[in-house]
Amino acid sequence: MDSNQHTKTNALAKASSLYLRQHRFNPVHWVEYSDALFEKAHNEQKLLLFSIGYAACHWCHVMERECFEDQDVAAVMNRHFICVKIDREERPDLDHIYMDALQLMTGSGGWPLNIVALPDGRPFWGATYLPKERWMAALKDLQQLYMKDKERVLEYATSLSRGLKAMAETPSADTLSEPWLKDEFETLIQQFLAAVDTEYGGFKGAPKFMMPNTLEFALHYHLLCPNERVFDHVQKSLDRMSYGALFDQINGGFSRYSVDNRWHVVHFEKMAYDNAQLLSLYAKAFAVTKNKWFQHVALKTIDFLEHWLYDPLSKGFFASIDADSSDELGEQTEGAYYRFTIAQLKEVLGDLYELFAEVYNFNELGHWEHGQYLLHRTDTNEQIAGILGVSVESIENALIQGLSKLKKYQQQRKKPACDDKIISSWNALIVSALAHSCRYLDLTENEKNKYVHLCLGAAQMLAERIEPDGRLLRIKSATANNIDGFLEDYALCIQCFIDLYELTFEPKYLDQASALNRYVLAHFNAPEGFFYFTDDLQKQVVRRTLELEDNVISSSNALMAKNLFRLGALLSKPNYSKRASALLQAMKPQVIKHPRSYSAWLQLALFDQFEFHEIAVIGTNFEQKASAIGRHYLPNSVLAAAKKPTEKGLLNRATDLSETAIFACVKGSCSFPVFETEQLLNHLHHDQTNL
């Protein structure tokens, strides 16, 4: 917004969140969320108006311009409501509750998420984006209804709250008589394949989100039960997502989603969590396929993370890049930084224009809107070389040269804003992604050293967010109150410390994972062995959420169950693995009914139902041999290594240490040791082909 439009700031001027500060010049009397709000609303007998969004959200900006910057709208909001701005990325617990409420009321969701609630926080009305006139009319009607028929409003809010609490009830395994069967996976895979887009990858329809967890499950499944249709789907999805304008061919990094079905018309916000998960996925896919394009996409994604989101001061990574930026007229416009006219392309590329027009479809296919084009490729460099009758090397060199020219031209534009929140769970995803990159990609020594440095720095930042009492902070702020971690933060930090241990074999990372896991077991317990999204020290509003279903990020309960399974193997704690198996059993009816929505649980089912290998490397050459094993993507395994045996855990193995030994164990039962990595890999391959 134009900060000169209103010179007086509201209470959000000193907020730590960029999203909240973006609204500081609104004439709306916004306040931040706090426990004191409810007493204030009760004393003033005013309704609460929660408006929830995030800094990179395009439609949040649109509603701000059309409604929240308008004096007439502000007058209505200020007169009748206590208006509360909430950053969903700071407070996902509140976002969960009120998004569920919106979906119960309307059957759909999205952001900006606008909720009107009673003074005690119970919701009774909600909507996403509304233009000015509809927004004002709705607010006036709601105020009149509350004044004239308060009992009706209370009755509806009470009923809705019961529905919200029912959504947080835990499943029970007691109703099940049949355990999971391997044969059932084939039926689930057929359901999965029936929904995929065989031309452009991903799932059928639009809008399209990347959903890396579903693709990771598919890749994992194929490695255990080879299935060409599944493997083709993974490869096609990875190709098409990275060919389309969804992937920034110039700067690297993926936008959040595609409006169309071919990954071309995108919403341009770039989120740390998307790019971290996709980096992991492309690195793992490269380990399986050795497809150079997958490595190229992974390296470009690291470039994006490093040059657009990295904070050298904290060693962490920022949250996101805005969808909107200044266009040629100085107006905030979605995608302005990334689009080009044909005249601009010809001017910048010169002699390279014809080649780029062929590769990136400067035609009807690559046209975005209003004479603007996005770089959108459909063919490989090999295919282009064949069409033009030139070498692949000449194509690759020309593309590097031309993309560099376009990047320099872009840099004359005003960059989209960066949301400088450093969120623990999203940084944990980046740590995992960098660890996977160092394991699976073909890197030069300099590249690997740089990525390990980035990875360890972010991990140290996360470790410093663990308080003396074991609590993990989600956001640490020097100028405002810290925000305690939610289950997502703990689960992903535990996961990243396990991943980091399997890269470095430094015991401290396994210790950190174990300590955070113990805190979760002590403070997040829900019935039937599940975990609440908030711990038992946080004040609850309406309900304690139970997150079971995957979204773009896997559900925090599924992540915790996978952590328990892996830690059970690494620490030789069978009670952890048994708890994970019990959770999986309880989830079975939901998973079988909607497999697309529970891919992380399905990955746990692969752990649970197929041979899960506990690999231990002990001896003088442990680093060399363990690293050689670690280069292979072996999703149904954990890997531990040390110079000498330990008293506890997977490394508690009898060996004479005269030669570095490699053990392959299943549920604590180990084969005789082998002494060459190829022997182990052949053994694992034999086990896999005899499932």
Token digits of residue 303: 């470039």
Cis peptide before 92 (omega within 30 of 0): no
Determine the 3-state secondary structure of 617 from DSSP.
Answer: strand
Instruction: Name the band, by pLDDT with cuts 50, 70 and 90, for residue 253.
Output: very high
Return the closest-CA partner of residue 484 out of 476, 473, 492, 494: 473
Which residues, 6+ apart, have CB-to-CB distance to 648 below 8 Å? Answer: 571, 572
- Percent of the chain at pLDDT > 70 equals 97
Q: Answer for the pair 327, 372: CB distance below 8 angstroms, yes or no.
A: no
Phi then psi for residue 382, to 5 deg, are -65, -40
What is the widest separation between alpha-carbon atoms in the chain? Answer: 86
Return the closest-CA partner of residue 310 out of 343, 276, 278: 276
Cα dihedral 623, 626, 628, 632 in deg (nearest 10): -150
pLDDT tens digits for range 68-79: 999 999 999 999
Q: How far apart are CA 252 and CA 414, in angstroms?
A: 18
pLDDT at residue 212 tops 70: yes
Beta strand pairing call for 316-317 and 332-334:
unpaired
Q: How far apart are CA 222 and CA 633, in angstroms?
A: 12
Higher pLDDT, 182 or 145: 145
What's the pLDDT score for residue 184? Answer: 86
Instruction: Output Rg (C-alpha) for the chain, integer angstroms.
Output: 26
pLDDT at residue 177 tops 80: no
What's the pLDDT score for residue 691? Answer: 47
Give the residues across from 367 on adjacent strands: 373
pLDDT tens digits for range 518-551: 999 999 999 999 999 999 998 888 899 999 999 9
Angle at 631 between CA 628 and CA 637, to 5 degrees: 95
Instruction: Name the band, by pLDDT with cuts 50, 70 and 90, for residue 4.
Output: very low
Q: Which domains does the chain have, with CATH numbers?
A: 11-167 (3.40.30.10), 184-259+276-317+425-604 (1.50.10.10), 338-412 (1.10.10), 613-689 (no CATH)
What's the pLDDT score for residue 656? Answer: 77
Instruction: Name the band, by pLDDT with cuts 50, 70 and 90, for residue 3.
Output: very low
Token digits of residue 226: 């080879």
Instruction: Name the band, by pLDDT with cuts 50, 70 and 90, for residue 182.
Output: confident
Q: How far apart are CA 239 and CA 586, in angstroms?
A: 36
Per-residue pLDDT, averaged over 581-600, amounts to 93
Per-residue pLDDT, averaged over 121-140, amounts to 96
Q: Answer for the pair 318, 263: CB distance below 8 angstroms, yes or no.
A: no
Return the closest-CA partner of residue 201 out of 146, 249, 264: 264
pLDDT at residue 479 tops 80: no
Whole-number mean pLDDT of the chain? Answer: 94
